[in-house]
Structure 1
């Protein structure tokens, strides 16, 4: 899939890519995030939480978008104060955090997003079918 790098300013870096609706896509999106963060000063302060949030949002798009053959767009925008993750899919269904019981094997992804992201939300895709689910995380500096 072709990636796009957009130089916004010396302190901002962005990257986006189309991914198939595949179980492998969260892994590929995390790899793309790691590569982007390696180009940004102190980018590693976003890696741990950013990779987890990427996995959750991309995994949800792959699992729940329900549109066979459609692709998922993943983009990152990072600067010194925040990392923004956006995942576009073809489903109009809004993401709803679940509250599974202790024995459930899934359903906790958006609870993790709520707990780890500074903010998160969703909106209809501009000019198209589907939605964008996004979140932002703050830098985490080791003590």
Structure 2
């Protein structure tokens, strides 16, 4: 169950456990955040895919002590750009892997790179961990 930290019309944040069900929960949180906005629905398909990939990446690859949570932030700017942030306590920056046609996994960051308007990785304030962010615009969502 997510713990919603704050909600404003333009921003929502929550904490999620490092669990295989957290990507689904993140998609549900994004949906509840975007649907009240007139510009929100077109951002949903791409936004849901990207938040799911970023949370999955954190759940599967972050090397952190047991019990650490994932912090997720959604922000909708006045120009209808959706910013998604996924924070975890692992400082190692993720790197997209070469795509293998036979591999069943490993395409998450490739999808983020291809579908987001922009994306990146930054250290968290206080020096513990990182956050991966991406921007989804109505133009990128329509592609």
Q: TM-score, normalised by structure 1?
A: 0.90
* 1:18 aligned partner: 15
Gaps of 5+ in 1: none
Using the TM superposition, give the Cα deviation of residue 61 of structure 1 relative to its aligned residue in structure 2, in angstroms. Answer: 0.5
Gaps of 5+ in 2: none
* 2:103 aligned partner: 104
Q: What is the distance in 2 between the residues matched to 1:42 and 1:5?
A: 21
What secondary structure is seen at the aligned counterpart in 1 of 2:47?
helix
Q: TM-score, normalised by structure 2?
A: 0.90
What secondary structure is seen at the aligned counterpart in 2 of 1:75?
strand
* 1:129 aligned partner: 128
* 1:5 aligned partner: 6
Q: How many residues align?
A: 138
Residue by residue over 1:10-65, the C-alpha shift from the partner in whole angstroms, topping out at 9 and shown as x without a partner, is xx611010000000000000000000111211210100000000000000011111
* 1:78 aligned partner: 76
Q: What is the distance in 2 between the residues matched to 1:58 and 1:104?
A: 20
What secondary structure is seen at the aligned counterpart in 2 of 1:122?
strand
Alignment of 1:27-66 (within 5 A): 27-66=24-63
